[in-house]
């Protein structure tokens, strides 16, 4: 009787239509349902979010007119970086995508808690990002995590599987670009920024600029600096500008956090329908290329960006840590736009 019921033409047709719905209709609905609720429609501008404990995140939305038409992109900063450092990239992306930028707590216009004594951890920064996206009530987002931002993005993906304090994400992460980053601690990798002693006098602007020149210099290969001396000096000036608030004590805390994160054993739990693209240059002097290869080995669906002349490919892997300063910005726009426009593949259980 059970076999006869299974072979009933109506049951077979119903099962077939269910599979069609999972494989074709639902992915299209996911791609086109960003603006189901009018309360989630963003506006361009600069805003603040107060977090639990009194810390504040400064964030900016660009390209809000594209909300509901293309997938929102969240750009997650690296160690010592500010959202204004993403200006060249976000200007290109916001022509066709809503783009969310923000400063990590304690950086730029973002604030630590009133006491300022919180322990900076990668998990804390991931929960900050969780709170920000949840506050915006965006149902779906794509992440681009650069350097430390890539570590924060992976931590966010694994929060539902956290052993001590798991949390379900109230939104869907459909695509993740992991750029110039790593999935586990490697001694000797990362920006080398030493902390001052508690009784040390504040550094002079000349001392800060010398440190900044060394740090910015490490983001490029020597050939790039030699070929573009004016652009290099501009980037050094931008990093030391008085309007670019990069407290050394907070950067030192970020550096310490990057020496003690642990989530690589949870990466295999990331759902298979999350699309993950690894972008890593072979000239990276901050995070070695093998760290990108390690991510691909640890996340089954992760793949490297392709090399070639077509849109969505990069001319070569000969670029340093400061990836979007290499090649024309249109190359990186094409890579990101094409990647996040792919409909995630859904796997039906038959």
Digit-coded pLDDT (tens) for 296-339: 999 988 999 999 999 999 999 999 999 999 999 999 999 999 99
The mean-pLDDT minimum among 179-193, 277-291, 321-335 falls in: 179-193
Query: pLDDT grade, residue 192 (50/70/90)?
Result: low
Query: pLDDT grade, residue 241 (50/70/90)?
Result: confident
CB distance 73 to 97 below 8 Å: yes
Task: Give the domain ranges of the chain.
Answer: 39-191+248-340
Q: How many CA atoms lie within 13 A of 103 on its CB side?
A: 29
Q: What is the pTM of this model?
A: 0.85
Question: For the residues 27-55, what does the mean pLDDT come to?
Answer: 67
CATH topology assigned to domain 39-191+248-340 = Rossmann fold (3.40.50)
Rounded (to 5) percent helix, strand, coil in the chain = 40, 15, 45
Rg of the chain over CA atoms, in angstroms?
22
Measured distance CA(84)–CA(289) in Å, rounded: 26
């Amino acid at each position: 009787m059970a076999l006869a019921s299974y072979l009933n033409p109506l049951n077979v047709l119903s099962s077939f239509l269910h599979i069609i719905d999972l494989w074709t209709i639902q992915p299209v609905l996911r791609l086109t349902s960003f603006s189901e609720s009018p309360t989630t429609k963003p506006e361009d501008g600069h805003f603040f979010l107060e977090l639990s404990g009194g810390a504040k995140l400064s964030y900016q939305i660009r390209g809000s007119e594209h909300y509901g038409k293309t997938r929102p992109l969240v750009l997650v900063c690296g160690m010592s970086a500010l959202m204004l450092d993403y200006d060249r990239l976000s200007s290109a992306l916001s022509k066709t995508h809503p783009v969310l930028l923000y400063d990590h707590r304690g950086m730029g216009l973002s604030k630590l808690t009133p006491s300022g004594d919180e322990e900076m951890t990668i998990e804390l920064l991931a929960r900050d990002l969780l709170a920000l996206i949840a506050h915006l009530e965006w149902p779906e987002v794509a992440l681009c995590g650069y350097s430390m931002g890539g570590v924060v993005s992976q931590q966010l993906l694994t929060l539902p599987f956290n052993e001590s304090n798991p949390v379900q994400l109230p939104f869907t992460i459909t695509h993740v670009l992991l750029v110039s980053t790593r999935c586990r601690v490697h001694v000797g990798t990362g920006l080398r920024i030493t902390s001052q002693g508690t009784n040390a006098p504040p550094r002079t602007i000349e001392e800060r600029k010398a440190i900044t020149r060394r740090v910015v210099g490490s983001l490029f290969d020597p050939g790039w600096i030699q070929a573009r001396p004016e652009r290099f000096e501009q980037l050094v000036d931008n990093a030391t500008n008085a309007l670019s608030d990069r407290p050394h004590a907070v950067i030192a805390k970020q550096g310490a956090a990057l020496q003690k994160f642990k989530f690589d054993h949870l990466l295999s739990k990331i759902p298979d329908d999350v699309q993950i693209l690894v972008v890593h240059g072979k000239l990276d002097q901050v995070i070695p290329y093998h760290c990108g290869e390690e991510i691909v080995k640890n996340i089954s669906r992760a793949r490297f960006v392709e090399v070639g002349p077509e849109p969505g490919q990069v001319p070569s892997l000969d670029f340093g840590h400061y990836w979007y300063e290499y090649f024309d910005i249109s190359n990186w726009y094409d890579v990101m736009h094409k990647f996040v426009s792919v409909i995630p593949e859904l796997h039906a259980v038959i």
